[in-house]
Structure 1
Amino acid sequence: RMGAVLEPDTRAAPSKTACDLKELHMMRVALVKDRTAAKNRAATLTLPLLKRQLRQRLAAIDRQIRQIEQAMHARIEADPELARKRDILISIPGIAERSAFALLTGMPELGDLNSQAAGALSGTAPRTRQSGKWTGRAFVQGGRAHVRRALYMPALAAARFNPDLNQTYKSLTARGKPPKLALTAVMRKLIVLANALIRDNRKWTPKPN
């Protein structure tokens, strides 16, 4: 009865390909963490045996990451809808194929959301604490932390090389906004843009001057 009253959105169950991609992506994330930890350990080792073993371990991790990325690429190529979304995502300056993998697995709803929902789900929508006449600083909270992390490096690149988002970043910092806040705004604009382009089935093009 409660479901009938609320009329929740119905979504199709994830496809086998989507489940495979999520599993592959999670393993890739774990391997990247292992690689970082191994590199940190390398700085403390003195014994030649341990140094050699660690080099072998790092080489094995790199090989496994490449194999996972190849498997993800093959599955996306075999799925026309995922390939379409991937091609649109990587047309946006700042988003490379690895970031596209993370967004496709972390936010499969891309293309079916409104701008507000895209910002909220990605954890980049600003929130402000208020109490009576007092208003605190804006902050981001909630959403999918793994998507927010996946947007960080693309936003750094977009703030430099995407002409539209570079202007957003410069405008905010020129008005005295902290660089971290300006970068979060770029992250939000990036995911909103990605959602809109996938929805409209068009690749990114620069705005006319």
Structure 2
Amino acid sequence: MSKTPQWIGVDVSQQTLDVYIRPLGKAIQIPNSPTQIAQLVESWQNERIERVVVEATGKLERELVIQLQEAEFPVSVINPRQGRDFAKATGRLAKTDAIDAQTLAYYGEALKPPVLASSSAETRQLQELTSRRRQLIEMQTAEKNRCRRARGKALVDIEAHLDYLRGRLEQLNAEIEELTQNCAEWSSKVELLKTMPGIGQAIATTLVSDLPELGQLSAKKIARLVGVAPLNFDSGKYKGQRRIQGGRAPVRAILYMGAVVAMRHNPAIKVFYERLVKKGKPKKLALTACLRKLLVMLNAMVRDHRPWQYSESPAARP
């Protein structure tokens, strides 16, 4: 047993977990399996763990994060780019799994990244279903593109697969809707979000599952979290072009579709887009600005528990 504050970095791969404990300097490697993870977490029960830092690695870290949260350990999941940039900044140019674990432990102690909010089994189930829906939509889009160039038996096979995907999407949407209806908080938030023109069932449920911080952060913070806040690239007299970077790509992607619809059917977004284009802004930039405005308005609606309303007065808009 040690009462020394400990910062733990875990490098995750498909087969193994490389663990480094700072400042004890202890490094271990275990198989990436539920049983081995449970034993590892159990061995930390009487330790003073300040933070466990892991990188997002395509859901390979999922079992570790769930077991750590269930044991009430503070967990931070960071973008791999952040870990690599930190390694370079500290002079660690070599890269191995063991070195990456050390870097993550050092990152946790030096920067104290935000702790990942705990999620219930129902929340994780909703996230898995919405993630699966995205995968099916991507497959559907790919098959539709192939359909334009296919002929003969290949075309027949693609059309049959498209019919199957449409059926699976209908079933999956029904499962997602049933799950959200069983939770009063989720159901009310979904119905509130859908009052905004351009926001349908799919976008609303994705926001509920993948952006639980909606309504809890300021406009600037929620924009940075999703990755739609323009970042400065200036140095001395040089003024670089503002651009967006990072954030939650799945949320940003589905909000993009919402912004495209809102440009036609949401008067607030439509007026905003047309004003930017008239000022000479590129259409892509104007659409990105609409996406950010849409997110900020949705954030205000959830924060205030207020359905969408449009006013001609800019001061009265969300």
Q: Give yes or no for TM over 0.5.
A: yes
* Structure 2: gaps of 5 or more residues: 8-49, 52-108, 314-318
Q: 158-167 or 173-182: which moved more? A: 158-167
Correspondences of 1:175-186 after superposition (within 5 Å): 175-186=279-290
Gaps of 5+ in 1: none
Deviations 1:56-78 (A, max 9, x none): 22111111110010000011111
Residue number among 167, 170, 174 corresponding to 1:66 in the alignment: 170
Encode CA deviations 1:148-193: one digit per residue, 9 max, x unaligned: 1111111112222212222211121111111111111111111111
Specify the code of the residue in structure 1 equivalent to 2:236: G
Q: Which residue is 1:128 aligned to?
A: 232
2:136 corresponds to 1:31: yes
Cα distance change on mapping 1:88 and 1:54 into 2, 3 Å? same
Partner of 2:97: none
Q: Which secondary structure does the structure 2 equivalent of 1:128 belong to?
A: coil
Which amino acid in 1 is paired with 2:230?
P
Structure 2 CA distance for aligned equivalents of residues 30 and 160 of structure 1? 27
Structure having greater relative contact order (Cα 8 Å, sep ≥ 6): 1
The equivalent residue for 2:255 is 151
Farther-moved stretch of structure 1 (195-204 vs 32-41): 32-41
1:47 CA drift (Å): 3.2
Deviation at 1:122, TM superposition (A): 1.3
Q: Matches of 1:44 and 1:9 in 2, distance apart?
A: 48
Matches within 5 A, 1:53-202: 53-202=157-306
Distance 1:29 1:9 in 2: 27
The equivalent residue for 2:121 is 16
Q: Which has the higher strand share?
A: 2
Structure 1 or 2: larger helix share? 1
Identical-pair percentage: 35
- Greater C-alpha radius of gyration: 2
Deviates more, 1:20-29 or 1:30-39: 30-39
Name the aligned partner's letter for residue 14 of structure 1. S
Task: Quote the RMSD (CA, aligned, Å).
Answer: 2.1
Q: CA deviation at 1:9?
A: 6.2
Is the contact made by 1:155 and 1:183 (CA closer than 8 Å) also made in structure 2? yes
SS at match of 2:241: strand
Please list the CA deviations of residues 83-134 of structure 1 after superposition, one character each: whole Å capped at 9, or x if unmatched: 1111111111111111112222221111111111110111110112101111
Q: Per the alignment, in what secondary structure is the counterpart of residue 243 of structure 2?
A: strand
Q: Which residue of 1 aligns with 2:145?
A: 40
Q: TM-score, normalised by structure 2?
A: 0.61
